[in-house]
Amino acid sequence: MISPIPPTDEMRSKQKRGTTLMNRGSCQEKIYLEVGKQGVVSCHFENFDIIGWIHGTGDVTNTSPFIYMEGSQIYGRGYVSRDYDMHPNGSLIINEVKLENEFNYTVLLVPNPAGANEYFKAPVKVYVPPDPWHPVVNGLTNQQQVVIHGSRSGSITCSMARVRPKVDLEWVASPDEITLDSTPTVTNNSDGTYDVSLNSKFRVLSGAVGNVILMCRATGHDLTSETEVYLLNQDLQPVVNGLYNQKHIILDVNRGGEVSCASHRVTENDSLELSIIPPLSSDEISQETTSSRSYNNDGTFNIKCSSHFGFLSRSMEQVTLECRVFDRTTNTSLDVTTVELFLPEC
């Protein structure tokens, strides 16, 4: 049995003489060990008298191994504490991986037959897997497929909690269907893990047809995981005079009357307008427009616009109206219904 304190003078003198080194082994690169489980820093060494593991890198010639093996016997404070063990090939066994085991280790090899001591680097990273394994959308931890009903704009959050190392989150979607304005945040937890989130505002574009599908993708160490989000397309089509599912309406009207237009379950940023295309002068038409907005309990609104009109010019036979839903913040048109008014002959 050798002393668990520093390497002996004989070990140091062998290294100082500069004897030609023989590559008697190696350690695995990019070692990741899971916190809370037994971990193995995998190495393989041959033809040695002593293998010792040291905390740290650089000049460690005067540093005591915390665990070492001489022949088939294992010694050192790390072995006595039962925190560590060793495999016969020299690999380090960590009985329960903790955050403090993330370290750059050095392996000391005293060769047999005698020669210069050899040193090997073994950087170790620890990781904490996410639970659940997939990104969480809007706090729905048990759903890897999330359905959002009837919303063409709003906020959406993707997150992963208590992970290590950090993961990257991103939205994957068609830029022709949806815009996403995202803000990433990372919170350092006291146990060495991270909470990562991607807070985003989205807007389904007017050119999107049908439902919109997007994914939140997480990438990191030994991790690629996705959660799908289905935005069920809300029908924003304005309804004219109660005539549903009609984009182009033809009405025979008198030279005075009323046209009403409504859109249901829109966001607070959406508005409705009823306009004549092209505009007419006050000598040709008299028009009075009223609008109203009612709140639904799900955060959406119903909006209605009514126009009382009278056509003054006797020469007009046809007038085109457009009822349009638009985003007030961007002045972007979301949907439109066209109305052709046919006027009676004088």
- Whether the upstream peptide bond of residue 113 has omega within 30° of 0, thus cis, is yes
State the pLDDT at residue 195. 96
pLDDT of residue 123: 92
298-305: average pLDDT: 79
What pLDDT score was predicted for residue 114? 75
Q: What is the rounded average pLDDT for all residues in the chain? A: 85
Residues pairing with 155 in the sheet: 201
CB atoms within 10 A of CB 17: 9
- Per-residue pLDDT, averaged over 257-264, amounts to 89
User: Is pLDDT above 70 for 3?
Assistant: no
Confidence of residue 154 (pLDDT cuts 50, 70, 90): confident
Secondary structure of residue 335 in the 3-state scheme? strand
Instruction: Please tell me the pTM assigned to this model.
Output: 0.56
Dig out the tokens for 149 from the structure: 């009903």
Q: Please name the residue ranges forming H helices in the chain.
A: 9-16, 77-80
Query: 222 φ, ψ to 5°?
Result: 55, 35
> What pLDDT, on the 0 to 100 scale, is given for residue 234?
62
SS3 16: helix
- On the question of pLDDT at 238 being above 50, the answer is yes
Q: With beta carbons less than 8 A apart as the criterion, state whether 117 and 108 touch.
A: yes
**Distance separating the N- and C-terminal Cα atoms of the chain:** 119
Average pLDDT over residues 201-223: 85
Which tokens go with 236? 């924003």
H helices present in 115-220, as ranges: none
- Backbone phi and psi for residue 15, each to the nearest 5 degrees, phi listed first: -70, -40
Percent of the chain with pLDDT over 70: 88
Band of residue 346 on the pLDDT scale cut at 50, 70, 90: low
**pLDDT score of 268 more than 70:** yes
Which tops the pLDDT comparison, 68 or 117?
A: 68
Domains of the chain: 9-127 (2.60.40.10), 136-232 (2.60.40.10), 239-342 (2.60.40.10)
Q: Which H helix or E strand runs over 182?
A: strand 178-188
Give me the percent of the chain exceeding a pLDDT of 90: 46
| pLDDT score of 156 | 94
Measured in degrees and rounded to the nearest 5, phi and psi for residue 101 equal: -80, -5
Give the pLDDT confidence score for residue 297 in this predicted structure.
Answer: 63
| Cα distance between residue 199 and residue 298, in whole Å | 20
Q: Which residue has the higher pLDDT, 57 or 178?
A: 178
Q: Is residue 12 pLDDT above 80, yes or no?
A: no
Kindly state the average pLDDT of the residues 206-227.
85
Task: Tell me the one-letter amino acid at 321.
Answer: L
Structural contact between residues 311 and 343, judged by C-beta atoms closer than 8 angstroms: yes
Measured in degrees and rounded to the nearest 5, phi and psi for residue 11 equal: -60, -45
Read off the pLDDT band of 66 (50, 70, 90): very high
Residue 73 and residue 85 in contact, taking contact as beta carbons nearer than 8 Å: no
- pLDDT reported for residue 7: 47
Q: Is the pLDDT of residue 247 over 80?
A: yes
State the DSSP string of 207-224. Answer: T--S-EEEEEEEEETTEE
* Residue type for position 132: P
Residue 124 has pLDDT above 90, yes or no: yes
